[in-house]
Chain A
Amino acid sequence: MWEKIFTIFIASALINNFVFARYLGLCIFFGVTKRMETAVGMSVTFTMVMVISAVLSWFIYMYVMVPYSLGFLKIVIFIGVVAAFVQAADTMMKKIAPALYYKLGIYLALIVTNCIIIAVPLINADEHYGLFESIALALGSGAGFSLALIIMASIRERLELADVPKSFQGLPIAFVLTGLIALAFLGFSGMITL
C-alpha cells in the first residue's frame, strides 16, 4: 500500500506534472512566476488548499455521493467545496498574514476556479483512490506545481536581464520557455505507469 502511495506521489509530481505534462493551471503559472517571492508563496498556499480540499472532497464523495449514487454531481459539488474552503482561507489569511494576502491578492481568488484544484478531486474520484492515496495525489500535484513555479520564477528573474526581442518580451518568451521545460519533462514519461 505504501509503495502505491509513494508511486502516486512521484507520478503526479514529475511524470504527470500538471503544468508540463497535462498543461493545466497555466493562468496562475504565468501570473505569479514574475517574482520568486510570489511564486514560493503561491506554491505553499496552493499545496495546502489542494491537500485540504482533496481530503474534504474525498469524505463527501465516499460518504455522501457514493451511497446516494450522486457521482454525476462531482464537478458541481467539488467546485462548491473548493470555493467555500478557499473563501474561508482567504478571510483567515487577510486577518492572520496580511502581507502574504496582499502579495497573492487576486491569485487567491483565482485558485477557486483553478483547473488543477478541481482536477485532483476528480481524478481521485475516477480512480477510486483511498484517503491516503488521495492525499498522496494532492501532495504530489502540489509538489509538482511548486517545482514548476519555482523553476519558472528563477528563469524569469534571469530573463529580466536578457536581451529579448521586443515582440517576444513578456508572455511570448514565457510560453516558449514553458514549452522547452515541458520537453525536458517528457524525459520522465513512461518511467512509472499507473
Chain B
Amino acid sequence: MIEQFLHTALPAAYRLLDIFFGGLIPTAGVGGAVEAVEYVPPSTIYAALVVLAVLGVIFGIALALVALRFVVKVDPKVEQVRDVLPGANCGACGFAGCMGYAEAVVGRQEVATNLCAPGKAAVAEQIAHITGKAVVTTVPRIARVFCQGGASLSGRKFIYNGVLDCTAAVLVAGGDKACDYGCLGYGTCMRACPFDAITMSSDNLPVIDADKCTSCGKCVAACPKQVIEIGPLAKAVVISCHSRDKGVDVKKKCQVGCIACGICVRICPFEAIALENNFARIDFEKCEVCGLCVRKCPTKAIKDHIPVRQKAYINPEKCMGIDVCTKVCPVNAISGDIRSVHAVDQDKCIGCMMCVSRCPKQAIELRQAPTFSSGRKKAKEGATIGA
C-alpha cells in the first residue's frame, strides 16, 4: 500500500526506494531463507521493519513487567556512598569496584570507612557520616624513595647494555650501580605503578607524585633493591639512603649517601634519629619534621619533601617578651630583650615550628616567606630545601 502510494504521489522517491532496496543490492551469500532470491523485494524490507519493531516493543514491555515484578529495594545509603566514592573502580579497597565497596560498607558493620585509597580522608569522613560509623582517622601515607644518587651523583661499576629493567639489571652482578643499596634507575617501579604516580627524573631517579600516590605498595614489591618504602605523608623529612657500607666507601661511590657521621643524631632536638647498620634512620614516631637535620647533613643525604617551608613571625601585639622562643630556637634566629617584643630573623629561620608550640601567648605564627625581600640569597636557599 505504501508502495503504491509512493508510486503515484512521489514517483521520484519511489524510484530512489526502488534503486536502493529493489534491484541493486546483491544478496547472494547473505544466507538463510533469502539464498535463492536475487534481489530483496520491498515487501521483505517492510516485513523486516515491522518484525523488528514488534519484537522490540514486545521485549520492551516484557522487560518492563519483569523489572516491576522483581524490583529489588536498594538501601539509599548505598547510592549515597557510591556517589561519594571516586568511581575509579581501582580495587584498592579490596572489593569488586566502588559499588562493591559501597554495598559492603553499608551492609556490614566490620567494614571500615577508610578503605578508599584514592578518596583519602575526605571520602572516609563522608562515608562515616552517611553510614553512621565512627570516623577512623587515617594517617595518609606515601611511597618514599630511599636513594638520591642519580646518574650524575653516583658511580657505575660497569656499563650495562641489557634490557632496561631493574629486575633484569639486578641479575648481572647486582646491577651496574656502584652502590649495592641504591636505585638502579631503570624504572621498574614506574611501570609497576597503577596510578601513574611515578615518573623518572632526568637524573634517572623515580619521582613520586604525592597527589597520585595511594600508598598501595606495588612499587615496593616491584623494586629489586628495596629502595622504596611506604611512610607517613606528614613526616616529610627522610634520610634518603639505605647504604650499609662504611662512610669511606659510601663517599667513594656516591656524593649524596649517608656516611653515618652522626651529626644528625646529635643535632636532632627530639632524639628521633639513630645510627644503625652504618646509616641513620629517622623514627617517624618521634620526628617533628623540624628540618634541622636537613641543614646540617654534610652530604645532603637527608631530603625535605616540603617544597617551601614557611617562616615564623612574631605578632608584636601578643608578644610579652617571655624569651622562651630564643632559647628553643635551634638556629638562633629570634632575638630580643626580656620583657620586650622579640623578632625573627627571616634569613636565619628554617621554619622548624619549634617556637610556635612553645610560646605561652601563642604570639608566633607561620607565614609564607616574603619573596620580595629575599633577593638572591633566599632564592638559593629555597632551592636547596626543595632539592
Kindly supply a per-residue 1/0 record for chain A positions 91-112, scoring 1 wherever the CB is within 8 Å of any chain B CB and 0 otherwise: 1101110100000010000000
Q: Is the CB of B33 within 8 A of A65?
A: yes
A162 is an interface residue with CB less than 8 A from chain B: no
Q: Provide the bound-state CA to CA distance between A184 and B179, in Å.
A: 53
A183 is an interface residue with CB less than 8 A from chain B: no
Chain A binder among B4-12, B51-59, B126-134, B305-313: B51-59
Q: Is the CB of B52 within 8 A of A95?
A: no
Q: Is the CB of A105 within 8 A of B33?
A: no
A72 is an interface residue with CB less than 8 A from chain B: yes
A41 is an interface residue with CB less than 8 A from chain B: no
Chain B residue with the shortest CB-CB distance to A93: B70
Task: List CB contacts (< 8 Å) of B14-40 with chain A.
Answer: 27, 30-35, 37
Q: Say which residue of B30, B51, B56 sits within 8 Å of A72 (CB atoms).
A: B30
B66 is an interface residue with CB less than 8 A from chain A: yes
Q: Is the CB of B63 within 8 A of A70?
A: no
User: Measured between C-beta atoms, what is the minimum distance from A79 to chain B in Å?
Assistant: 11
Q: Is the CB of A74 within 8 A of B31?
A: yes
Q: Provide the bound-state CA to CA distance between A74 and B37, in Å.
A: 16
Q: Is the CB of A88 within 8 A of B62?
A: yes
User: Measured between C-beta atoms, what is the minimum distance from B142 to chain A in Å?
Assistant: 27
Q: Given A77-B52, A84-B59, A105-B96: A71 and B70 within 8 A (CB)? A: no
Q: Provide the bound-state CA to CA distance between A73 and B55, in Å.
A: 13
B357 is an interface residue with CB less than 8 A from chain A: no
Q: Is the CB of A95 within 8 A of B70?
A: yes
Q: Say which residue of A65, A73, A81, A92 sits within 8 Å of B66 (CB atoms).
A: A92
Q: Is the CB of B31 within 8 A of A91?
A: no
Chain B residues in 8 Å Cβ range of A74? 31-32
User: Measured between C-beta atoms, what is the minimum distance from A42 to chain B in Å?
Assistant: 16
Q: Is the CB of A80 within 8 A of B55?
A: yes
Q: B32, B52, B72: which has the most chain A beta carbons within 10 Å? A: B32
Q: Provide the bound-state CA to CA distance between A59 and B364, in Å.
A: 85
Q: Is the CB of A70 within 8 A of B47?
A: yes
B387 is an interface residue with CB less than 8 A from chain A: no
Q: Provide the bound-state CA to CA distance between A54 and B183, in Å.
A: 60
User: Measured between C-beta atoms, what is the minimum distance from A110 to chain B in Å?
Assistant: 14
Q: Provide the bound-state CA to CA distance between A84 and B33, in Å.
A: 24
Q: Is the CB of B32 within 8 A of A65?
A: yes
B299 is an interface residue with CB less than 8 A from chain A: no
Task: List CB contacts (< 8 Å) of B46-99 with chain A.
Answer: 47-48, 51-52, 55-56, 59, 62-63, 66-67, 70-72, 96
Chain B residues in 8 Å Cβ range of A94? 70, 72
User: Measured between C-beta atoms, what is the minimum distance from B48 to chain A in Å?
Assistant: 5
Kindly supply a per-residue 1/0 record for chain A positions 33-77, scoring 1 wherever the CB is within 8 Å of any chain B CB and 0 otherwise: 000000000000000000000000000100011101111111011
Q: Is the CB of B51 within 8 A of A68?
A: yes
User: Measured between C-beta atoms, what is the minimum distance from A29 to chain B in Å?
Assistant: 20
Q: Is the CB of B31 within 8 A of A72?
A: yes
Chain A residues in 8 Å Cβ range of B30? 71-72
Q: Provide the bound-state CA to CA distance between A84 and B65, in Å.
A: 12
Chain B residues in 8 Å Cβ range of A98? 72
Chain A residues in 8 Å Cβ range of B72? 94-95, 98
Q: Is the CB of B63 within 8 A of A69?
A: no
A14 is an interface residue with CB less than 8 A from chain B: no
A87 is an interface residue with CB less than 8 A from chain B: yes
Q: Provide the bound-state CA to CA distance between A60 and B72, in Å.
A: 31
Q: Is the CB of A72 within 8 A of B52?
A: no
A127 is an interface residue with CB less than 8 A from chain B: no
Q: Provide the bound-state CA to CA distance between A74 and B32, in Å.
A: 8
B44 is an interface residue with CB less than 8 A from chain A: yes
A3 is an interface residue with CB less than 8 A from chain B: no
User: Measured between C-beta atoms, what is the minimum distance from A31 to chain B in Å?
Assistant: 13
Q: Say which residue of A71, A76, A80 sits within 8 Å of B31 (CB atoms).
A: A71
A163 is an interface residue with CB less than 8 A from chain B: no
Q: Is the CB of A70 within 8 A of B96?
A: no
Q: Given A80-B56, A84-B59, A84-B63: A69 and B44 within 8 A (CB)? A: yes
Chain B residue with the shortest CB-CB distance to A101: B72
Q: Provide the bound-state CA to CA distance between A84 and B32, in Å.
A: 23
Q: Is the CB of B55 within 8 A of A92?
A: no
Q: Is the CB of A64 within 8 A of B51?
A: yes
Chain B residues in 8 Å Cβ range of A81? 55, 59
Chain A residues in 8 Å Cβ range of B47? 68-70
Q: A68, A76, A87, A125: which has the most chain B beta carbons within 10 Å? A: A68
Instruction: Offer 15 A-B interface pairs, CB within 8 angstroms, sorted by A.
Output: A66-B33, A68-B48, A69-B44, A70-B51, A72-B34, A73-B51, A77-B51, A77-B55, A80-B52, A80-B55, A80-B56, A88-B63, A92-B66, A94-B70, A105-B96
User: Interface of A with B (CB < 8 Å)?
Assistant: 60, 64-66, 68-74, 76-77, 80-81, 84, 87-88, 91-92, 94-96, 98, 105, 125-126
Return the 8 tightest CB-CB contacts between A and B, nearest first: A71-B32, A71-B33, A84-B59, A68-B47, A95-B70, A72-B30, A88-B66, A69-B33
Apart from A65-B51, A125-B32, 20 more pairs, CB < 8 Å: A66-B33, A69-B33, A69-B37, A69-B44, A69-B47, A70-B33, A70-B48, A70-B51, A73-B52, A77-B51, A77-B52, A77-B55, A80-B52, A81-B59, A84-B62, A84-B63, A92-B66, A98-B72, A126-B31, A126-B32
